Every structure is written in structure tokens, then in C-alpha cells.
Amino acid sequence: MEYPFREIEKKWQKIWEENRTFYVDIEDERSKFYLLSMFPYPSGVLHMGHVSNYSIADAIARYNIMNGYKVLQPMGYDSFGMPAENYAIQHHSHPEITTHENIDKMRKQFKSCGFGYDWDREVITCDEDYYRWNQWFFLKMFEMGLVYKKSSYVNWCPSCQTVLANEQAEGGICWRCDSKVEQKEIEQWFIKITDYVEELLDHSKLGNWPQRVITMQKNWIGKSFGTEIIFKVADEEIELPVFTTRPDTIFGCTYMVLAAEHPLVEKLIAKNSEKEKVLQFIQEVLNEDKIERTAEDTEKIGVFTGSYAINPVNNEKIPIWIGNYVLMDYGTGAVMCVPAHDQRDFEFAHKYDLPIRIVIQKPDKSLVLEEMKEAYIDEGVLVESAKFNDQKNITAIENISKWMEEKGIGRRTVHYRLRDWGISRQRYWGTPIPIVYCDDCGAVPVPEEELPVRLPKDVAVGKTRKNPLLSVPEFVHTTCPKCGGPAQRETDTMDTFFDSSWYYARFCDAHNNNEPFDSEKANYWLPVDQYIGGIEHACMHLLYARFFHKFMRDIGLVNTDEPFTNLLTQGMVTKDGAKMSKSKGNIVDPEEYIDRYGSDTLRVFMLFASPPEKDVEWNDEGVKGAFRFLNRIWVLVTEKQTFLKSLPNRYDEKAVMPGFAKKLRFSTHSTIKKVTEDINKRMQFNTAIAALMEHLNNVSAFECNEQSEKIVKAVYYEAIAAIPKLLQPFAPHLSEEVWSMLGNQTSILETGWIDYNEKFLIQDEVTYVIQINGKLRSKIVVDIDTPKETVEELALADEKTQKYTKGKTVRKVIVIPKKLVNIVV
RNA sequence: GCGAAAGUGGCGGAACUGGUAGACGCGCUGGACUUAGAAUCCAGUGGCCGAAAGGUUGUAGGGGUUCGAAUCCCCUCUUUCGCACCA
């Protein structure tokens, strides 16, 4: 028999919608719980990953509703960005059309899953009423001095005449035309996220966040204490500051290396007779992949600039090189090189025959230059370092820095790996950056009253690979807001991370046309109590959103410091051990399974297959297993419906009952306890469902009929009635149906969660495991409060124990209360 | 390469605080029902030896701490995620 999931699911979805079960407002007296899942990019098809993620969230939502909270669970679409543009090109359409079509499809699919969303708050980021506030925020940031323009390098395909994303330029080859990708320097808008770096480093105001996300963010921000040392270029008045965490090795610095992008490179190579060669080298380095460039096993290559610098501590003249292993993004783009004590420098010096000088000796002074096979990076004592000789290098770090500060050749500084947020994208499908370029006034922000700067719709997407906005004269040509003269609009659009940095706040007041959201409303709902999304967002999205929240706080829009109190990072859905993707051809379509088994089955499978933080391996047979479980519940209740309705729904707690009934009561109450704690303490649904399955097995094996004692009937009823309650978070439709079949009139969501009674969890006997030398040899069952000494005696007297202890001396006996006895012989 | 995690039967996983490894489910094997299949129900199921009782081995690999290690420490291997223009 197959339970009628199609009718059941449709029926309850309709009832929830009519009752407006999941629509919430501030006036409602229950306390708030804001539950948010990362919103999807609307590809048009619901992916298994979505179902998994949103099933986890919905389970938490429903559990909290039953525990008396009003749960705000909104849904929206992260609908700007490259995939939408590419999708439209492929389908010879326009992203405006395809995106909205896709959104409509996805909304329908979400509804068929029965997720408990407040649809009145739907947010679509590519709609004007949303992105206009991106522009508004940009202007506020501009006012606050958080926005600036600087040039930086982008992947450039010379044949397509377009900027490429890193993923489109893999291996240095353009994804479309296979041309070699170049690095091109262009002007871009940046946001000073680094102004908030210290606050972003402080995770103390967060609730329950995975430690690993915090660690990843800390490493990403990469705070390091060090010293900035100012080198001067020989015979020039040019200063070349370097940042180092190892000022103790400064006397061993024998050359310098600059990044190929370093702004002074041009000056330094001006007098070099082999200038052309150097320029060619620079071009080659620039076109290398950045990850490859810094990889330790990549060959370190370089070229001499022809210029020298002066080591400020000993006035030595040292050569200045350009190398592939130095990046402009970190520190000052110039490093002092100490080949004896840095592995990369060591390799580089050997390759180009540069001098190496030991300045840190092993405590036994055994380090010999000629015998060194690698750099010595451990602790030691300073040598050849003038007045710092014989100091431990750890102390010398401090002393040398102080001394350099006094001499004015260096200062202690803090450096961060975190860079400012580049938001410019040379693409069509994004929020236009509200800036106008005037020949006289320069870059002028668009006045607030003139927002939104509308993204023109009448654009031939895909005709050229260049940013289509460039070919819309009505958009580009405008007048300067300052002087009224002719001007051009900025054609760059914003990074889509901008959209997703504040959407959680928009959900609090999704249709406000006068401001991004009403402060009071946002302060009521925020912060998000539980945020759920993939670990891949650990550094970027989650940092941008934290930054944005602090910025919104500083302009008075919100009154909290952090946007997301608790965070759950869920795993992805895999098949054959790999992430589901089009290119691998291992995609499984959720809709097919919803049609075949219903959304309850799909949810139960997803939640049961693994704990939420881990990946879920797709398994067709496993889905059938989930269906079988739900079917068994339905059959059990349907077959006995009349009998069940006749059973007493209360019983005398003190009534004497037979052992088998006591056991069932234990099963009921321990299952309630297990499911409750697995949901609210551990957020582990697989074990909760396993416990429920076990309980169902116990109930199915239980014999109860018209002739049974009254107390037995009551215990049986209690055992069955607990099932729909505990099932609601995982299989909500069936849960409701079973609940109503038991004669209940209202939605189970309106009834409370179910409590267990500690009294019924107390057992009279306990099994002790007996180990001999740590190996399991026997078991004894004793009264629960048997004293330790008696347990020891009983264990030693045990027949099987005797077999192993005979003729041997018992050296030690360890008794762990209610668990085991270990006898060491 | 750097940063962060993970690795347990044929498979997904459980073991929460260092204390019975393999809960629960899938698969498989045998049986019941059936003309037959599907579905359902019952029993068994880490490997090896054994008819059984039982023994022995076993949590990626190697070493260590402990009465006792899947769990703690060190080393190695493998896989996954992120690395700033995918979202």
C-alpha cells in the first residue's frame, strides 16, 4: 500500500496558506525567532542542495513554532550576477525575462515542498525596488569616506575585449575563445572594509558559530605584528618601505625583491640597459595565475632591476630585484630578503647566485653556510648583527624594532591580509554604480533624490561580449549633477555580494519605498537568530555581511553589532562522492522525487542521511527507505483508526502496569527526550529520526486490543500520539494528517511541543560490562543503586571472569558507575 | 602552495564527557504470503576460524599516552571547501 501523499501534502499546504500559519507580524505577542537560510540564485530549477538546506531550516522553524515562538522565515532570490547574464545569452533572451521566469518556477517548487515561508516578504535583488537601496547605501558610504577608486588588475581577454572572472580564466585561458588571458590594469571602486578590520576580528559578540568559520575568518583577515623598515634607493631620494615580521634578521638582508606590479618599478629600471628584457619578464609574471605564483613548489624566478637599495642598519648596498613570488596585495609589495632564514629567499638566492649571510645561529653554533640545504627558520642567537650579537632572536625582534624606531628608520606596525572590497564589475546584470563622470567636476555621486539609476532594459544582451551598458547612449550620456554640463555615467555595476550583504535586514520590512527598511522594524527582528548556509561562504559573504551590519549601525539604521547570532553551515549534496554539477552529469532533480514519493519523504531522507554539517550522499534506495518509514506510520494509524480513537488519552501515573507496558512507556518518553535534545541542543536530525524509527518499531511490536487492560491501552495511545508530534519538523504534512486522524481538530502546529516525564526514564536495573585487561569478557545485570564495592565483588565472582582470573593475580579493579568494571590481571 | 575540515562494515551513518564499536536505515542472504512479480512481514548480516559455544581481528596508515583510544598527542596518506570578478 502506498499512502496518498499527493492529496495529503496539497491539503495541508492549502490549510497552512489559508490559516496564514507562517505569516508573522510585530503585533503578535509571541516572542520572535528570526530564522534565515541563505537565499538562492534563481536558476529556475530547485537543486537537491536547496531542498537539503531548506529542509534543515524548516525543521528548526516548525520545532520553534511548536515551542511558542513566532518564527520569521522569509525567502528571496539573489538574482543579479553573471549566471543570469550567461543564461540569457544562451537562451537568446534577456535576463530581465529569464530571471523572472525562473523565479516563478522556483517559487512554485518551494510551495510544493511545503516550506513555511512568509511569502509577503519576498525579496528579489534584481528588482528596482531592491537595488535602488544598494545605490543609496553606496552613496552613504561615499559620504562617510568609505568608498574610493583605485586601479587594480583584472583578467582580460584580448580577443573578447572583456574582463573575465577567475573561474572563466582558469589556467590562464579564456573559457570562450581559448585565448591567453592577460592582466590589465583598470580603475575600480573599492569599499574600505579594512576600516572595520579590528571589529571584524572580534567574534566575541556572536552566539553559536562553528569554530572553524571563526578560525577561517581570522586567518583570512590575517593580522600580523611586524616592523616597517624604510630602505632608500641608492643615489636617489626614493623610499622603499618593506614590511617584515622578522626584523631580527635585518642584518642578514642581502637583496630586495619587488612585486612586478610595484609602482616604483618603472623608475628603478629606467637606467637599465636591458630594460626591454625586464619589461617582458614583468608582463609574463603578471599573466601568471596568482595562486600558482605563490605556491611553494612553483619555481621562484626574478630579474635584476639595475638599481640598488641601502640597508638602513649597516648602509650596505644591496641589489633590487623583481620576483614572481612577491605580491602587491600584501604588505608594501616589497620584501627584504634574508636567504639564510627564509626558504623562498634561500631558493631564490641560490638560483641567482646572490649572497647569503647567517645572522641567526643554532644554540650550539653548528650552522655552516656551505652545508645549508635549506633556510634556518628556527630560534637561535644573533651573530654578525652589530650590537645585537648574542641576543636571542625572540628578544632581538623587540630590541631591533625599538632601536630602528629611535633612529627613524623603521616603526612597529600591524599588517592585515584582508584587502579592501572591490565592487566594480564590468557587466550588465547588476546594480549600476551611482556615479557620473564630468569633464570639469570629475567623479560625482548621483544625488539621492535622483535614485534609482535604472538599469536600462532595452539592451541587446550577448551581441557583444563587452559590457552592454557601454552601447546604450541614453544611459551613458547624462548631465553633471553639480554643474549641469555634459557627463557620462559609470557603466560598472556592483558585485552581487553587495546585494546579499543586507538582504536579511530588508526582510524585516520588504516593501518599504522610502528607505531600505524601517529601523524600528529591523531592530525588532534583528539579529537573525539562526542563519543557515554553506561553509563556502565562511570568508567572503559572511565577512561582507558582518561589515555591512556594522556600517548600518554607524549610520543609525540598526542598533546591534552583529547580523547573525547563530550560524549553521550545512554540507552539500553529493552523488558518487562528488558535488552534483552539470559538468559531471550527476544531477538529481528534486521535482521527480517529489512527484514520486512526496516532499515529506525527500525531507526525511535528506535529514536522515547525515548530520546537517556534513555532506549528504544521494541514494535512490535510501529515499525508498524514508518512504517506507512514513508509509508504516500511515498504515499503522489507518488500520487501527477506530480502535485508536476509542483509547483513553490520559492515564493514572501511579497505576501498576505490566513490564511490557512499562517498556513501551520508557520508549515513548526516552524518544521524546532524544528527539527534543537532538533538535535543540545538537541540531542533529539524523539521530532524532533514527530514534523515531526505533520507537515506531517498538510500537509496531506492541500487542494491544479491545481486551487489553485500561492502563495498557492508555500507554499504547500515548506511544502513538507522540509520533505525529515528533514527526512534525521532519515530515510536516504526514504529521498533520496523522494528528487529525487521531481525532484532533486543529493544526498540530498550534498545539505545543511534547514533554517527557523524567519519572518514566528511571530504570531499576543496569548492565555492567566486565572487561579483563580492557577486553570485553562478560556482563552482569545489577540493581541500579548497588554500591561500587558490591559491583566489584559481583564482577570478580562472575563465572566468566573466573575463567580469566584463575591462577592470576588481580592487580587493579576499576569500576565506572553504571557502566563497566575493568579487571587488570 | 596557503588556510579550514573530514576519513568508522558492501553503502549512508551512530557511538554526545576517554568506557560494550557498528544504533537507525539501505543493500544482501534465507524464510512466509503470492499462479508469478511488486509490495509487505519474520530471521540473519564487519572480517577470519568454528556446527555451535566461543575465539580472534577490526574505526585511512604508522607511532605514542592510558587500566581502557574511533575519541587525546606526533608523523604520513587521501578526499572536500575557500583563496578576493561564481554565488
Q: What is the pLDDT of residues A737-774, one digit of tens each?
A: 999 999 999 999 999 999 999 999 988 888 888 888 88
A269: nearest Cα among A321, A231, A316: A321
Whole-number Å distance between alpha carbons of A48 and A40: 12
So what's the pLDDT on residue A234?
83
Q: Please check whether the domain covering A593-761 is classified as CATH 1.10.730.10.
A: yes
The nt closest to A541 (CA vs C1′) is B87
Percentage of the residues of chain A whose pLDDT score is greater than 90:
59
Mean pLDDT of A96-106: 94
Separation between the CA of A753 and the C1’ of B20 (whole angstroms):
34
Name A702's Cβ contacts closer than 8 Å, sequence gap at least 6. Answer: A660, A664, A716, A719
Task: Check the CA dihedral A129-A135-A139-A145 and report its sign.
Answer: positive
The CATH class of A224-415 is alpha beta
pLDDT band at A597 (very low <50, low <70, confident <90, very high): very high
A724: nearest Cα among A716, A715, A734: A734
A38: nearest Cα among A720, A575, A542: A542
So what's the pLDDT on residue A296?
61
- Pick the more confident residue, A794 or A220: A220
Give yes or no for residue A145 having a pLDDT over 80.
yes
Q: Decide: helix, strand or coil at residue A166.
A: helix
Cell numbers placing A124: 528579489
Cell numbers placing A603: 525531507
* Alpha carbon A336 to its chain's center: 36
Considering the domain delimited by A138-192+421-494, tell me its CATH architecture.
Beta Complex (2.170)
Q: Give the C-alpha distances (Å, rounded to integers) separating A3 from A86, A113, A467, A631, A636.
A: 43, 17, 54, 6, 11
The nt closest to A814 (CA vs C1′) is B67
So what's the pLDDT on residue A356?
92
Residue type for A380, please?
G
Residues of chain A with CATH 3.90.740.10: 224-415
Using the C1' atom of nucleotide B83, identify the protein residue whose alpha carbon is closest.
A291
Separation between the CA of A768 and the C1’ of B56 (whole angstroms):
23
Separation between the CA of A616 and the C1’ of B29 (whole angstroms):
28
Cell numbers placing A723: 509520533
Whole-number Å distance between alpha carbons of A803 and A799: 7
Using the C1' atom of nucleotide B15, identify the protein residue whose alpha carbon is closest.
A687
The nt closest to A426 (CA vs C1′) is B85
So what's the pLDDT on residue A469?
87
What is the DSSP pairing of strand A381-382 with strand A360-361? antiparallel
Using the C1' atom of nucleotide B82, identify the protein residue whose alpha carbon is closest.
A536
Separation between the CA of A779 and the C1’ of B72 (whole angstroms):
28
So what's the pLDDT on residue A291?
66
Separation between the CA of A818 and the C1’ of B56 (whole angstroms):
28
pLDDT band at A290 (very low <50, low <70, confident <90, very high): low
The nt closest to A543 (CA vs C1′) is B84
Separation between the CA of A769 and the C1’ of B19 (whole angstroms):
9
A491: nearest Cα among A434, A574, A410, A440: A434
Residues of chain A with CATH 3.10.20.590: 765-824
- Pick the more confident residue, A8 or A346: A8
The nt closest to A417 (CA vs C1′) is B84
Q: Which of A293-307, A382-396, A436-450, A610-624 bottoms out in mean pLDDT, i.e. has the lowest? A: A293-307
The nt closest to A81 (CA vs C1′) is B87
What pLDDT digit, counting tens, does each position of A399-440 carry? 999 999 999 999 999 999 999 999 999 999 999 999 999 999
The nt closest to A165 (CA vs C1′) is B85
Give yes or no for residue A342 having a pLDDT over 70.
yes
DSSP tag of A263? T
pLDDT band at A545 (very low <50, low <70, confident <90, very high): very high
Q: Decide: helix, strand or coil at residue A155.
A: strand
Separation between the CA of A577 and the C1’ of B59 (whole angstroms):
20
What pLDDT digit, counting tens, does each position of A700-740 carry? 999 888 888 899 999 999 999 999 999 999 999 999 999 99
Mean pLDDT of A781-797: 85
Residue type for A296, please?
E
Percentage of the residues of chain A whose pLDDT score is greater than 70:
98
Mean pLDDT of A685-702: 95
So what's the pLDDT on residue A295?
64
Using the C1' atom of nucleotide B86, identify the protein residue whose alpha carbon is closest.
A167
ipTM for this prediction: 0.95
Separation between the CA of A776 and the C1’ of B29 (whole angstroms):
29
Using the C1' atom of nucleotide B87, identify the protein residue whose alpha carbon is closest.
A41
The nt closest to A692 (CA vs C1′) is B24
Query: Residue A482: is it exposed, middle or buried by C-beta count within 10 angstroms (0-12/13-18/19+)?
Result: middle
Separation between the CA of A815 and the C1’ of B56 (whole angstroms):
26
Neighbours of A800 (CB within 10 A): 13
Protein-proximal positions, strand B, CB < 7 A: 1-5, 11-16, 19-21, 23-27, 39-42, 55-56, 67-69, 79-87
DSSP tag of A432? B
- Pick the more confident residue, A768 or A56: A56
Give yes or no for residue A104 having a pLDDT over 80.
yes
Q: Please, how many CA atoms are within 13 Å of residue A107, restricted to the half-sphere of its CB?
A: 17
Q: What is the DSSP string of A474-514?
A: HHHEEE-TTT--EEEE---EE-TTTGGGTHHHHGGGTT-SS
The helix or strand, by DSSP H or E, that contains position A322, with its residue range, turns out to be: strand A316-323
Q: Mean pLDDT of all residues in chain A?
A: 90
The nt closest to A416 (CA vs C1′) is B84
So what's the pLDDT on residue A86?
87
The CATH class of A765-824 is alpha beta
Per-residue burial over A364-373, b if 16 or more Cβ lie within 10 Å, else e, is eeeeeeeeee
Cell numbers placing A108: 512554485
Separation between the CA of A386 and the C1’ of B56 (whole angstroms):
69
Whole-number Å distance between alpha carbons of A281 and A284: 5
Q: Decide: helix, strand or coil at residue A445.
A: strand
Separation between the CA of A240 and the C1’ of B10 (whole angstroms):
64
Q: What is the DSSP string of A518-575?
A: -HHHHHHHPSEEEEEEEGGGTTHHHHHHHHHHHHHHHTTS---S-SEEEEEEE--EEE
Using the C1' atom of nucleotide B67, identify the protein residue whose alpha carbon is closest.
A824
Indicate the fold that domain A29-126+497-586 takes in CATH.
Answer: Rossmann fold (3.40.50)
